[in-house]
Amino acid sequence: MPGTITSALPAATSTTATPGTAATPGVSGTPGAPGTPGPSQLDVAGELLALLRDTTTEPRPDLQLEALTLTVAADLPVLLWGEPGIGKTAALTQLADSLGLPLTTVIASVHEPSDFSGLPVVGDDPAERGVPMAPPQWAVRLVEAGRGLLFLDELSTAPPAVQAALLRLVLERRIGTLRLPPGIRIVAAANPRSSAADGWELSPPLANRFVHLHWTHDPEVVVRGLGGTWPRATLPRLDPERLTTAVDRARRAVCGLLTGRPALVHRLPSGEARRGGAWPSPRSWEMTVRLVAFATAAGTSRDVLSLLVRGAVGDGPGLELLAAMDRLDLPDPEALLADPAGVPLPERGDLRQAALEAVVDAVHRRPERSRWDAAWALLVHAMETGAPDLVVVPATTLAGLRRDEWDVPESIERLAGVVELSRRADRAHARVTGAAEGRR
């Protein structure tokens, strides 16, 4: 009839409730079992979430992850720097899962200084017994577990008072009256001040207690991880037979550098931002000795070692240390002269040329006919097994060391073409350069 709204929906089916049970409209029964309630939508959502969380891992080379696990193995506090959403927290979670360690996450910026230094508890006789500093509950759980990862997140958003309270925790591993057991490792994460939520620069005393690793994302790793397979984090395998050698190498490298460059022992940066990162001090050099020893015992690559030493003492001092270690790894010139074809030469071009020049210098210091001939044999071997142009300068210098009574060895003829070709290239380059300057 006019003015009456008629529903277009079919008539509702009557529902009969079982005695003692309220009828639930909108919940259909399981097919084939009328009246039996089906799974709720939250249960189905839970199953879907479980499938999304079902991921696996695979062994995959990852320099950042290798540097992180080696620092954790060395029991040094490590700080991951990276933009928000880059995967720092996910990396720590995956690291804890891979190593089978419980993870305790503490957001530094939402805590008070007393949460790290301890909460004062007044006892029966404070005048006689004093006021003990009680640790927070998360610290008690860590000590009871005896092992795990303590993750200090959002460190750059912690105000200066909280950063000051963290000094004792990071260095002395104390929270109130508790001391963290050796099985606890400390890892932190921070965003650069420009991208942190109400961020602060890290104070120099706190920054100097960490190994700083700059975390970046690898698109291939991210894509493969979103597909369900992430890189596997494993602790480095330390060779028991290399432990003594590793410690000796680390100490010789660091002490040798600082003996020649005493200004690097302690150098506080002038800028506030750089003070919040890695810089050299006796404390950070001590961490560097430990990192070099662990990297040597584990046989890690030079790229990983570069991340570690630069993360401890900064880019400049770290690169100087790497160069000093390269010189330590050069073969003994006397061993090369004794067996020119038997002692392996370095693969890297700069190190190979440095080794050849060291041999020529050794002949210059003690010129003998047999040593001169052995040096020529070594240069021929180097030409045959590497880039020929690397032998030009050593060969030219060695030729100038010849005595009148020394016969020219036959091996020189094999090098003559390389040296002459190099000289022609130099003369051609000089002519081109001179012509270009003349046109100006």
- DSSP annotation string for 66-127: HHHHHHHHTT--EEEE--TTSSHHHHHHHHHHHHT--EEEEEGGGS-THHHH-EE---S-HH
Fill in the DSSP letter of residue 224.
H
Q: Backbone phi, then psi, for 218, in 5-degree steps?
A: -105, 115
Which of 220, 287, 253 is closest to 79 using CA atoms? 287
Q: What local confidence, expressed as pLDDT, does residue 130 receive?
A: 66
Query: How many other CB atoms are found less than 10 A from the CB of residue 37?
Result: 12
- Please provide the size of the chain in residues: 440
Q: What local confidence, expressed as pLDDT, does residue 342 receive?
A: 86
Q: Measure CA of the first residue to CA of the last residue in the chain; give whole Å.
A: 102
- For the chain, 440 residues long, give each residue's pLDDT as a single digit of tens: 444 433 333 444 444 444 444 444 444 444 445 566 778 999 999 999 999 988 888 888 889 989 999 999 999 999 999 888 888 888 888 888 888 889 999 988 888 888 887 777 766 666 666 667 778 888 889 889 999 999 998 888 888 888 888 988 898 898 888 889 989 999 999 888 666 556 678 889 999 999 999 988 888 888 988 898 888 878 889 999 999 999 999 999 999 999 989 999 999 998 877 889 999 999 999 999 999 999 999 999 999 999 999 999 999 999 999 988 988 878 888 999 999 888 888 888 888 888 899 899 999 999 998 998 898 889 888 888 888 778 888 888 888 888 888 887 776 766 765 555 445 444 544 555 665 666 66
Q: Retrieve residue 334's tokens.
A: 């006397």
- For 360, how many CA atoms within 13 A lie in the half-sphere containing its CB? 20
Q: Residue 279: exposed, middle, or buried by beta-carbon count in 10 A (0-12, 13-18, 19+)? A: buried
Query: Which residues contact residue 59 at a Cβ distance below 8 angstroms, ignoring those fewer than 6 apart?
Result: 231, 232, 234
Q: Which CATH architecture best describes the domain 57-119+132-231? A: 3-Layer(aba) Sandwich (3.40)
Q: What local confidence, expressed as pLDDT, does residue 440 receive?
A: 62
Q: What local confidence, expressed as pLDDT, does residue 420 receive?
A: 56
Helix spans in 146-261 (H) = 160-172, 204-207, 219-226, 243-260
Q: What local confidence, expressed as pLDDT, does residue 99 receive?
A: 83
Rounded Cα distance, 202 and 275, in Å: 8
Handedness of CA 71, 77, 83, 86 (dihedral sign): positive
What is the amino acid identity at position 328? L
Q: What local confidence, expressed as pLDDT, does residue 431 receive?
A: 58
Q: What local confidence, expressed as pLDDT, does residue 76 receive?
A: 95
Q: What local confidence, expressed as pLDDT, does residue 386 receive?
A: 83
Secondary structure tally for the chain: helices H, strands E = 19, 13
> Whole-model pTM above 0.85?
no
